[in-house]
Amino acid sequence: MKYVTGLHCIKCGKEYEADPERYLCDDCEDGILDVDYDYQKIMAEWSKEDLKANPDQRIWRFEPLLPIKPETEKPKLAVGDTPVYNSPVLAEEFGIKKLIIKDDGLNPTASLKDRASAMAVVKAQEADAKTVACSSTGNAASSLAGNIASMGGRMNAVIFVPDRAPAGKLAQLLIYGADVVSVKGSYEEAFYLSAEAIKKWGWYNRNAAINPYLVEGKKTVSLELAEQLEWEMPDWLVFSVGDGCTIAGAYKGLYDLKQIGFIDRIPRLLGVQAEGCAPITEAFRTGEELEVTAENTIADSIAVGKPRNWLKAVRAIRDSAGEMINVSDDQILAMMRNLGKKTGIFGEPAGVAGMAGLKKAAAEGIIKRDQSAAVVITGNGLKDVKNARRAAGNPIEVEPDLEKLTAIFVEQGVT
Amino acid sequence: MKYVTGLHCIKCGKEYEADPERYLCDDCEDGILDVDYDYQKIMAEWSKEDLKANPDQRIWRFEPLLPIKPETEKPKLAVGDTPVYNSPVLAEEFGIKKLIIKDDGLNPTASLKDRASAMAVVKAQEADAKTVACSSTGNAASSLAGNIASMGGRMNAVIFVPDRAPAGKLAQLLIYGADVVSVKGSYEEAFYLSAEAIKKWGWYNRNAAINPYLVEGKKTVSLELAEQLEWEMPDWLVFSVGDGCTIAGAYKGLYDLKQIGFIDRIPRLLGVQAEGCAPITEAFRTGEELEVTAENTIADSIAVGKPRNWLKAVRAIRDSAGEMINVSDDQILAMMRNLGKKTGIFGEPAGVAGMAGLKKAAAEGIIKRDQSAAVVITGNGLKDVKNARRAAGNPIEVEPDLEKLTAIFVEQGVT
């Protein structure tokens, strides 16, 4: 960790050594930590040209800005290097100047969370831990299980899920060979059992909300985007927001790049929550402490009523002169179909919520007609076929008869 | 099409001009065509260094070996550039020297078929067609719908499916905005209705078995693999086999590379079919004409009882001094879990059938201990969660109680 100078608490500022098992501030409740770098030294020793010449296309190409020891073995999955598309069609539809879409659902386990989980596998090794644990039924769990599996049997993932977890999500975890503990109880009970177990067996804790290193993995999404855009940043950068880690990580990446002079401005961040679960939007608007809310949305990956990283997220959005906005489930479902139809990108509900928010922000004049925006699709729609089916509408039904088909096509204007 | 000299029938040798709508030989039944190139000219004008310097990572980087006009607009999805992994763990388990795995399930619509469908979108434009049609519920259809969508509304896909098509597969097609015609009848009835409709409305025909250009798209999988392996070919290259197009395409790519001197030998091809549907293996073994079989396998993407491209496939495997082998559904399901657990790659049943065949071929001594092999995972497991669940086994079930969890962990040797 050549350039890491330490950690600091985002609440009280207290500094800590960058120990891989240092998760939280000792003095503050919810005292989330942030990783500090020696930007002057990085500037002196690393350039855009060095980066360009690096043949490693995975997230590890940004090593000078990552809190890892160069010699630690990386999980083998090819995390990162997800495609960026320019969509003039949707830009025109939304009434903005330019629209860039980054499809992070094309990561190896099909979500942005691979970036954090790959980091967890590295940091666990640096903490001499063979087992990494996680309590989730979602993308954090599946990405952890996949990245652990890619170590070829030398490490182990233990995943705690409530017994209501859907069969499909269980399948991904079990295929990756994780020890999956199905807890007969609520999500809270699964979470607390995992916390006790982590403490008892000394496993490494893959919880992006409290583990400061995982956010550093997530920030590679904006490092990568900036490089792909040849360091020309858009006016706005849009993310869906659940527990706040992803948008906070994205901001951290942009902040880092500005400090070392790779970009000259940080885009304004637009954070998008689901109407049925928007505690961070509320805290952003009121300026008060976060109030826990219900979790009423189909966008399960951002359905977080008690987000741990809300303060980091709110500060990131404020510091970027950004905004927050909420979208309805219907707007999300409509956007799944619109995005698929106009771009060939199939996102899960939380994955396209950012895009639905961008459309709304443009309609409300938050994003202006002469402004550009980039949005990250955070997860693949194949992860949630049930909601895709709700979004997708119905096929044309017909007997096997060309005349009947012709009549329907004429009626519907297909040909 | 700077280097394309024409087409020839693989049965009678009759030559044709490379018209985008030339599908089959006029004189032969099932007269599949192959695309010919001026290899001397390519050798004189294109080098490995030129390729290396090409910043386009998509399949279009191989343009001199593709039957396309340079100026034709490409679909925007980032098809190709899928990762290659080295798995010493599985090589040791199977008892071979080296094992390379290419995960083609990380293509934009999650299967190798994106390579053919992207080509279909290009060739349709060259034929002045705005609509491309396809009769399938599988990866051919979803990849076509996705690649058409990425044109931003300027083109249209019409997909014919039998009304028993599973909801999940329909979802992907409808999300991409295809006109999906659900035919009240069997797959055959859907196929014949599509053929009539294609004829009536003059749509472009995306049927890899008869359209010679689509196989040229598929061949990019071996062009890409060869470049990623720095032109050092393994002893064996393994594919699952359904209608025969993919393995025939892979061979064509290798043949092209050998003709222009980029590789010095063609690996032996191992074709793998499912025991419940193995007409090509039978034809390969008997040397007789293909006999149509039933389609009894969970590996739906290779369940083709009447494969159109069997002759091309059989010849490719013979010309490479290769072999064919069959695997059971149980072997496929076991390999889904083994592959997931040891590598973090989640393949669909047809996607991992090749890997199951590789294991069997090694056990039977077809692939020797001192030989290397590469295998392509052709589709993503998220496409078929139902079978993944069958493969994946069960979680540990426990009350929310640390003592009970401890007892189970001790019993099962988890910690």
Q: What is the residue-level pLDDT of chain A in tens, covering all 415 positions?
A: 899 999 999 999 999 999 998 989 999 988 999 999 999 999 999 999 999 999 999 999 999 999 999 999 999 999 999 999 999 999 999 999 999 999 999 999 999 999 999 999 999 999 999 999 998 878 999 999 999 999 999 999 999 998 877 777 788 999 999 999 999 988 778 888 999 999 999 999 988 678 899 999 999 999 999 999 999 999 999 999 999 999 999 999 999 999 999 999 999 999 999 999 999 999 999 999 999 999 999 998 899 898 988 999 999 999 999 999 999 999 999 999 999 999 999 999 999 999 999 999 999 999 999 999 999 999 999 988 888 989 998 999 999 999 999 999 999 887 7
The length of chain A is: 415
Min Cα–Cα distance to chain A from B315, Å: 34
| pLDDT exceeds 90 at position B160 | yes
Position A248 scores a pLDDT of 96
Question: Closest partner residue to B392 among A152, A174, A395, by Cβ?
Answer: A174
Q: If we measure between CA atoms, which residue out of A289, A325, A286 comes closest to residue A306? A: A289
Contact status, residue B99 vs residue B90, Cβ threshold 8 Å: yes
Query: Which among A154, A175, A179, A191 is the top mutation candidate for probing chain B, defined by the most B β-carbons within 10 Å of its own β-carbon?
Result: A175
The predicted pLDDT at position B189 comes to 87
**Number of neighbouring beta carbons within 10 Å of residue A310:** 25
Please classify residue B16 by burial: count the beta carbons closer than 10 Å to its beta carbon, then call 0-12 exposed, 13-18 middle and 19+ buried.
middle
Residue B193 has pLDDT above 80, yes or no: yes
Q: What is the pLDDT of residue A349?
A: 95
Q: What angle do CA B313, B318, B324 make, to 5 degrees?
A: 70
Select the residue of A85, A149, A167 nearest B342 (Cβ to Cβ): A149
Q: Which of B136, B385, B404 to mutate to test the interface with A (most CBs of A within 10 A)?
A: B385
**What is the reported pLDDT for A186?**
80
| Least Cα separation, residue B311 to chain A (angstroms) | 31
Range B367-385 average pLDDT: 95
Q: What is the CA radius of gyration of chain B?
A: 21
A-interface mutation test, from B382, B402, B406, B412, most A Cβ less than 10 A away: B382
Chain A contact present for B110, CB below 8 A: yes
Tokens 């690649």 correspond to what residue?
Answer: B147
Nearest residue on chain B to A395, judged by CA atoms? B180
User: Measured between alpha carbons, how far is B317 from B373 in angstroms, rounded to an integer?
Assistant: 15
The span from the CA of B301 to the CA of B376, in Å, is 14
pLDDT at A189: 87
d(CA B207, CA B198): 11
3-state SS, one letter per residue, for A164-224: CCCHHHHHHHHHCCCEEEEECCCHHHHHHHHHHHHHHHCCEECCCCCCHHHHHHHCHHHHH
Judge if ipTM > 0.85.
Answer: yes
Determine the average pLDDT of the residues in B153-172: 87
Residue B88: closest CA among chain A residues belongs to which residue?
A152
Q: Which of A35-49, B140-154, B384-398 has the lowest mean pLDDT?
A: B384-398
B378 assigned ligand-binding residue: yes
pLDDT of residue B325: 98
Span B84-111+228-392: which CATH code?
A: 3.40.50.1100
Q: Assign a CATH topology to domain A84-111+213-392.
A: Rossmann fold (3.40.50)
What pLDDT sits at residue B164?
Answer: 77
Cβ separation B395–A342 shorter than 8 A = no
Amino acid at B221: V
A361 in contact with chain B, both atoms CB, cutoff 8 A: no
| Window B:244-283, CB contacts with A under 8 Å | none
- Across chain B, what does the average pLDDT equal? 95
Give the pLDDT of residue A138: 86
pLDDT of residue A169: 79
Check whether A378 is labelled as a binding-site residue: yes
**Is A385–B381 a contact, with Cβ atoms under 8 angstroms apart?**
no
Helix, strand, coil % in chain A, rounded to nearest 5: 45, 20, 40
Residue A188: partners with Cβ closer than 8 Å, 6 or more residues away:
none
Written as six digits, the tokens of A306 are 């008690």
Question: In this complex, which of A171, A393, A406 lies closest to B385 when CB atoms are compared?
Answer: A171
What's the CA gap between A222 and A240, in Å, rounded? 14
Given B152, B181, B190, which is nearest A396 (Cβ)?
Answer: B181
Instruction: Report yes or no: A298 and A346 within 8 Å, Cβ to Cβ.
Output: no
- Residue A268: predicted pLDDT: 98
- The pLDDT value given to residue A182: 93
What is the DSSP secondary-structure string of B335-379?
Answer: HHHHHHHHH---B-HHHHHHHHHHHHHHHTTSS-TT-EEEEEE-B
Residue B92 pLDDT class (50, 70, 90 cuts): very high
Mean pLDDT of B12-30: 93
Lowest mean pLDDT, pick from B141-155, B159-173, B287-301, B304-318: B159-173
pLDDT over 80 at B188, yes or no: no
Q: How confident is the model over B82-88, as a mean pLDDT?
A: 98
Q: What is the pLDDT of residue A308?
A: 85
What pLDDT does B121 receive? 97
CATH fold for the domain made of A130-202: Rossmann fold (3.40.50)
Is residue B335 less than 8 Å (CB to CB) from chain A? no
B144 touches chain A (CB under 8 A): no
CATH 3.40.50.1100 segments of chain A: 84-111+213-392, 130-202
Q: How far apart are CA A187 and CA B256, in angstroms?
A: 56
